[in-house]
Amino acid sequence: MNGDQQETPLTQVFVGLGSNLGDAVLTVKKAIQVLESWARPEPLTASSLWETRPVGPVAQAHFVNAAVGFKTTLPPEELMTRLLALEKEFGRVRLVRWGPRTLDLDLLFYGEIRMRAPFLTLPHPRIQDRGFVLAPLRQIAPDFVHPVLGQTLESLWQSWRAAVPDADEQVRLLPDPRGRR
């Protein structure tokens, strides 16, 4: 390494995944495998798969959601660009906001960084209002503290569940075909 260059530090990131077109379970599992190849030097941590109701005004099928955490040296904008490219590889076409999709990848947290850019806001807005994000995310990082709200993901999950009367119907853990949870 050149003496003038500094090594980019590893940063813990969390990504949300979702799909409700085609074989959504297979799509999310394949996307997790791709993200696993990006995780260095430590392995990726992945949540279970969750079935969730769609959000927004468009009538559509339920989603399969998950979350992953891994460390990266990629800057936030480059990581988001790669996530968007991966969505396209899986056939994502953006026609309707909050519409059905083959694959949706959201960069939820990039360490404790706070930023607003044309195609990226960190932390991802409305995490605290979305059970489909909180359920898998708090499964892999319950003690992670939201850098803006100052609460753990477990606390945000419990607050969301207390505020949503049918929370257990909106977000349900999918059974693992191998019998694991």
- Catalytic residue check, 4: no
- Annotated active-site residue 176? The verdict is no
Q: What are the distances in angstroms from CA 107 to CA 5, 13, 159, 161, 166?
A: 27, 8, 22, 23, 27
Verify whether residue 106 is a known catalytic residue: yes
Annotated active-site residue in 4, 23, 82, 92: 92
In a 13 Å sphere around the CA of 81, the CA atoms on its Cβ side amount to 7
State the virtual CA torsion across 151, 152, 153, 158 in degrees, nearest 10: -80
Of 53, 82, 106, 172, the active-site residue reads 106
Give the number of other Cβ atoms within 10 Å of residue 101's Cβ.
24
Catalytic, out of 104, 138, 176, 181? 104
Catalytic residue of the set 101, 130, 166, 168: 101
Torsion over CA: 77, 89, 171, 70 (sign): negative
Q: Catalytic: 104?
A: yes
- Which residues are identified as catalytic? 92, 101, 104, 106
